[in-house]
Amino acid sequence: MLGDFVFISDFDGTITKKDFYWHIIDMYLKKEGNDKYNKWQRGEMKDIDFLSYIFKNIGQDEEQIYKDIIKMKIDPYLKDFIDFIHSKNGDFIVLSAGTRYYIDILFEHLSLQNITVYSNNAVYKDKGIHFDIDPTDKFYSERYGIDKKKVVKYLKSNYKKTFYAGDSMPDYEPSLLCDERFATNKLISIFNEKGVNFHPFSSFKDIEYILKKKEIKDEI
């Protein structure tokens, strides 16, 4: 039996105010990290290779990395928004091409429970975070580790309606599979350039307002 609807959200830059890799670059890698970022942006590194380099070169013990993770700022309205989705018989799912290593730590610290997360596995070792990716996984992507598009296709087969919120290019293709799209940061200009229908937002409170208006029209 199909679920009523699912709200799928990216993590870095969508739920958080700043990508985790920028936290690491700004705190520990400085010029070296910025050089790798520019190389990645020029298409000279795959996404997974860029993130892998940044994460494994943090150079801090596990306790310090934990402290750095829980400093990350998230949208303060997130918990209320998730409660709203659940109150309407929907599910809230996080879909990230980062790693659930820091997502799980942050959610546990903030007492955000029972949230399904699709992301890359990773472990702490050698003073860094190292990806632990299975190339035989059904959602595997050579470029991202996890293929967001494959995950969204799977979720679409389990729900009557799908919503997606993201902030950058990796969210573009998976969001096109969904019934409604919400964009912040770079994804706004990407959608505008490509003529895609979407709703801009700066907070999950904005999205809740839009969904409540749709509810009045019986569109959810």
Give the model confidence (pLDDT) of 27-82 as tens digits.
999 999 999 999 999 999 999 999 999 999 999 999 999 999 999 999 999 999 99
Classify strands 122-125 and 128-131 as parallel, antiparallel or unpaired: antiparallel
pLDDT at position 77: 98
pLDDT at position 121: 99
Q: Is the pLDDT at 214 greater than 90, yes or no? A: no
pLDDT at position 1: 87
pLDDT at position 76: 98
Q: Is the pLDDT at 99 greater than 70, yes or no? A: yes
Q: Is the pLDDT at 10 greater than 80, yes or no? A: yes
- Residue type, position 59, single letter: G
Domains of the chain: 3-18+72-216 (3.40.50.1000)
Spatial distance between the Cα atoms of 208 and 186, rounded to a whole number of angstroms:
21
CB 16 within 8 A of CB 185: no
27 Cβ neighbours under 8 A, 6+ residues apart: 68
pLDDT at position 215: 75
Q: Is the pLDDT at 218 greater than 70, yes or no? A: no
pLDDT at position 107: 98
| Per-residue pLDDT band at 216 (split at 50, 70, 90) | low
Q: Is the pLDDT at 219 greater than 70, yes or no? A: no
Classify strands 90-99 and 116-120 as parallel, antiparallel or unpaired: parallel
| Per-residue pLDDT band at 217 (split at 50, 70, 90) | low
Spatial distance between the Cα atoms of 5 and 217, rounded to a whole number of angstroms:
16
- The single residue listed with the structure tokens 């959200």 is 9
* Residue pLDDT, tens place only, 107-162: 999 999 889 999 999 999 999 999 999 999 999 999 999 999 999 999 999 999 99
* Residue pLDDT, tens place only, 154-183: 999 999 999 999 999 999 999 999 999 999
pLDDT at position 114: 83
